[in-house]
Amino acid sequence: MASQELNVKASGENGSDGISEETLKIIQKQGTLGYQIRKSKTSYFMLAPYFFLFFLFTVLPVVISVFFSFTDFNMLELPTFVGWRNYIKLFLEDDIFMISLKNTLIFAVVTGPISYMLCLLFAWIINEFKGVLRAVLTLVFYAPSICGNAYLVWNLILTGDRYGYLNGILLKLDLINEPKLWMQTEKYVMPVLIVVQLWLSLGTGFLSFIAGLQTVDKSLYEAAALDGVKNRWQELWYVTLPAMKPQLMFGAVMQITQSFAVADISINLAGNPSVNYSGATVVTHLLDYGSTRFEMGYASAIATVLFLLMVGSNKLVQKLLRRVGE
Amino acid sequence: MAAEYKKKKRFFHRKQKQLNRSVAGNTLLFALMIVCGVFMILPLVMIVNNALKPLDELYQFPPKIFVRNPTLENFSDLFVLMNDSWVPFSRYIINTIIITGGGVVGHVICASLAAYPLAKHKFPFKDILFSMVVLSMMFSWTVTQIPQYLIISVLHLNNNYAALVLPAWSFGMGLYLMKQFMEQLPDSLMESAKLDGASEWQIFWKIVMPNVKPAWLTLAIFQFQQMWGNTGSLFLRDEQLKPLQFALQQITAGGVARAGAAAAVTFIIAAVPITFFLICQSNVLETMTTSGMKD
């Protein structure tokens, strides 16, 4: 590629016979990769600071991690290469991984879409309000994401004796006869975690939708009203959503990274390991191997599998989102 | 030229009147917001109440949410503990300003600068670079932490603010967010500026950035939360370099006797990002209002 480009460049400078030949050469010259790169010099300068750090602190660590996934590495001795053994063990011998994979998929399929819709719904409703009320409402709904004590609240609510708020209310209403050990009973763990996860869902996506709604060109609404859009629901589907497609895409990716990586709520409410691994997710499993057992090779293999899972679902979701507003 | 910029800046103007809105619909939505809002604000209510509770109420069993005899004792306890600290407390505050401020400002600038060409220019390798950023967010952070630590050690950045600040400049989410918002800007906005002789850098600062103000204010909120929550204990060894978050968490780790001060700490740890959030969020709204009024 490089030598061809040089040739073209050299002949381009000398050749001055015949316009058509000249033009042809210029076109040829512009077609080469080198020319395009030189032409976009400013673009690359703008990219440089971010991508230099990005390659150094993100891409390189990911590459190293993927390499670790093919090794046996305990963080004290040098890694030893073991080929596909970690992956084989993961899928054929590790029963708990299968439980955690199942739970993670439940989280992704149930909380993923619902959280996403909630973010959009509440951002859109808040956008209907004005002034101080609006700023206050935004804070109220973002409070669980910014306060950092969400688990404390839920631990109070879910306490297993009769002083837990949930038990207290249910006992008072005579719906149960004795207090229930919510987080120590296998069948309650996943449903409760799903509810808490939904309660926590108004985070990154929510705020970016609020900002996105601000940038929708307002003249579009007037035009739509003239075109026969009759109520706010039609307006939402035909005007607002198509206009904020970039934010919808962003929200979807953030949602995927969050719903597949559920771990903190499980560890804080159900513990790690949870009763009979009923609250285990792929990331709690990963943390178990990575930070408790120091089996970094195996943990890296889990991370790689999780990564592929997210990439796959991202492809699917992006395909669905292209159809918004049609 | 300046006039032209101004005119273009106002491309997004405020909604003049409420179209397509019914009173019944408004009432319904407002009622829904109140019901849900009560559940969402619980943690905030709890933090404020706990910070005002005297010790006996903090240890009351079963615990109550609301405080009965509010007091500021917890805060005075906290200040006494702060004065006793081995490193002057102002040092922790300065460290936090450097780490959080540096992380937020640097990231917003780096990410926006890189997002602009990715959103609006055509050049080789563009798609690959962008999808690498999006995909990087899907790789578990827990695992990459160890290689990252090795890289930072090799670069001798250990025990230096840079170990926290520089990686933060290249987080994936910021670039993605900024790129998505910049993509929405109509190309005519940049083309007319280019015809007026503006360089790419001028276009970026004077046209693109003001028009995506809601985006970078939102990004600043995310990044602030991220940086503020970092105790830095992985990379910073010297006590003189550690941020406020670390010092405050040390106080709460003091056990039963410090429960009051700990409640005050929880309040401060939440209050700072909330203040930042409110400043940014009200500016997200303000941009739109002022640009509308100039019409």
Give the separation between CA A307 and CA A291, rounded to whole angstroms.
19
User: Is residue B155 located within the same domain as residue B48?
Assistant: no
Peptide bond into A144 cis (omega under 30): no
Mean pLDDT score, B203-214: 90
H or E element that contains A265? helix A264-265
Structural domain of residue B183, as residue ranges?
72-293
Q: Point out the residue among B151, B183, B221 whose CB comes nearest to the CB of A61.
A: B151
H or E element that contains B57? helix B55-58
Q: Which two tokens stand for residue A54?
A: 């990005």
Residue in chain B nearest A150 by alpha carbon: B43
Give the separation between CA A1 and CA A178, rounded to whole angstroms.
77
Residue in chain A nearest B120 by alpha carbon: A43
Residue that terminates a domain, selected from B28, B49, B70: B70
Average pLDDT of chain B to the nearest whole number: 83
Q: How many domains does chain B have?
A: 2
Pick the CATH number of A86-321 from 1.10.3720.10, 3.30.1330.20, 1.25.40.10, 3.50.50.60: 1.10.3720.10
Mean pLDDT score, A155-171: 81
Query: What was the pLDDT predicted at A250?
Result: 92
The 10s digit of each residue's pLDDT in A174-187 is: 888 888 788 888 88
Q: Enter the DSSP assignment of A126.
A: H
Q: Is residue B136 part of a domain?
A: yes
User: Is residue B252 located within the same domain as residue B106?
Assistant: yes
Q: Which residues in chain A are classed under CATH 1.10.3720.10?
A: 86-321
Give the separation between CA B240 and CA A260, rounded to whole angstroms.
38
Q: Is residue B7 part of a domain?
A: no
User: Is residue B31 located within the same domain as residue B154?
Assistant: no
User: Is residue B102 located within the same domain as residue B236?
Assistant: yes
A246·B180 Cβ contact <8 A? yes
Residues of B in contact with A125 (CB under 8 A): 29, 32-33
Contact B227, B168 (CB under 8 A): yes
All residues at 6 or more sequence positions from A12 whose CB lies less than 8 Å from its CB, including other chains: A25, A26, A28, A29
The CA-based angle B217-B219-B223, given to 5 degrees, is: 120
User: Is residue B65 located within the same domain as residue B81?
Assistant: no
Query: What was the pLDDT predicted at A69?
Result: 92
Query: What was the pLDDT predicted at B13?
Result: 41
User: Is residue B182 located within the same domain as residue B162?
Assistant: yes
Average pLDDT of chain A to the nearest whole number: 84
Write the CATH number for B239. Answer: 1.10.3720.10
User: Is residue B109 located within the same domain as residue B160?
Assistant: yes
Closest chain A C-alpha to B26 CA, distance in angstroms:
8
Residue that terminates a domain, selected from B45, B70, B95: B70
Closest chain A C-alpha to B282 CA, distance in angstroms:
6
pLDDT band at A101 (very low <50, low <70, confident <90, very high): very high
User: Is residue B77 located within the same domain as residue B53?
Assistant: no
Q: Is the pLDDT of residue A17 over 60?
A: no
User: Is residue B66 located within the same domain as residue B76?
Assistant: no
A46·B184 Cβ contact <8 A? no
pTM: 0.85
Q: What percent of chain B has pLDDT over 70?
A: 89
Count chain A–chain B contacts defined by CB atoms under 8 A: 276
Please tell me whether residue A312 adopts helix, strand or coil conformation. helix
A144·B40 Cβ contact <8 A? yes
Mean pLDDT score, A293-318: 91
Higher-confidence position of A15 and A38: A38
User: Is residue B31 located within the same domain as residue B76?
Assistant: no
Q: Is residue B96 part of a domain?
A: yes
B43·A62 Cβ contact <8 A? no
Residue in chain A nearest B31 by alpha carbon: A125
Q: Point out the residue among A134, A143, A235 whose CB comes nearest to the CB of B41.
A: A143
Closest chain A C-alpha to B221 CA, distance in angstroms:
9
A148·B184 Cβ contact <8 A? no
Q: In this structure, how many other beta carbons lie within 10 angstroms of the beta carbon of residue A14?
A: 8
User: Is residue B125 located within the same domain as residue B149?
Assistant: yes
Q: Is residue B65 part of a domain?
A: yes
Q: Which of A37, A39, A51, A54 to mutate to test the interface with B (most CBs of B within 10 A)?
A: A54
User: Percent helix, strand, coil in chain A (nearest 5)?
Assistant: 75, 0, 25
Q: Point out the residue among B143, B172, B199 whose CB comes nearest to the CB of A300.
A: B143
A49·B169 Cβ contact <8 A? yes
- Please report the ipTM that was assigned to this predicted complex: 0.84
User: Is residue B94 located within the same domain as residue B33?
Assistant: no
B142·A299 Cβ contact <8 A? yes
